[in-house]
A and B are shown apart, each in its own frame.
Chain A
Amino acid sequence: AQKVTQAQTEISVVEKEDVTLDCVYETRDTTYYLFWYKQPPSGELVFLIRRNSFDEQNEISGRYSWNFQKSTSSFNFTITASQVVDSAVYFCALGGSQGNLIFGKGTKLSVKP
């Protein structure tokens, strides 16, 4: 069975702190895709990154970075020097052979000024 676990339900940090959101997945597929989405209070899910299972290189995009560890089935997301605008619910998702996305329950990040 495919499953995504985001064990952190809520995280609260003060602006400029670094924060890491954890994502652990389960799949029997040899080829699969991992995603992160951001959902601000407005409701729309904003796509952040798509990574395929054969590419284990870490990725950095501005203040965002992602650490893909196949050995531990994890795809963690780090925000460096967090800002108030980063406050949102963040979802990790797994896409495999079935075509659909399996979402985790999300982590609510609050960044306080």
Chain B
Amino acid sequence: ETGVTQTPRHLVMGMTNKKSLKCEQHLGHNAMYWYKQSAKKPLELMFVYSLEERVENNSVPSRFSPECPNSSHLFLHLHTLQPEDSALYLCASSHRYKGDSTDTQYFGPGTRLTVL
């Protein structure tokens, strides 16, 4: 595997379900990101992990819970979601976060989430 992978690619869940999204990067990067992309809205940054430490949490509701067990893996745990949470969830990684330059972020294919 190369680049950034995400599983599952599609997920349908009810509002009472608990599910997890998985992201894995094979690029040797130290920073990982979760973004939400809703229809007709700009990409929204949700969380940033740098060296496995959460460094950004952009006012995301607690029903989204990220986890970064090591620098190659990132999870997004979902529980009691709302229909408005239906979106494409994109994972990205970069060499560093907040270095002396803005490193390129490389994205995975995304998970298309539908909440019924």
Interface residues of A (CB under 8 A from B): 31-33, 35, 37, 42-47, 50, 52, 91, 95-96, 98-101, 103-106
> Can you spell out 26 A-B residue pairs with CB atoms less than 8 angstroms apart?
A31-B101, A32-B102, A33-B101, A33-B102, A37-B107, A43-B90, A43-B110, A44-B107, A44-B109, A44-B110, A45-B107, A46-B107, A91-B43, A95-B102, A96-B102, A99-B97, A99-B98, A99-B99, A99-B102, A100-B56, A101-B105, A103-B42, A103-B43, A104-B42, A105-B42, A106-B42
Interface size range on B against A:
20 to 34
Interface of A is mostly: loop
Taking CB atoms and an 8 Å cut-off, the chain B residues in 11-49 that contact chain A are: 41-43, 45, 48
CA distance A40 to B44 in the complex (A): 18
Q: How far apart are B74's CB and chain A's nearest CB, in angstroms?
A: 16
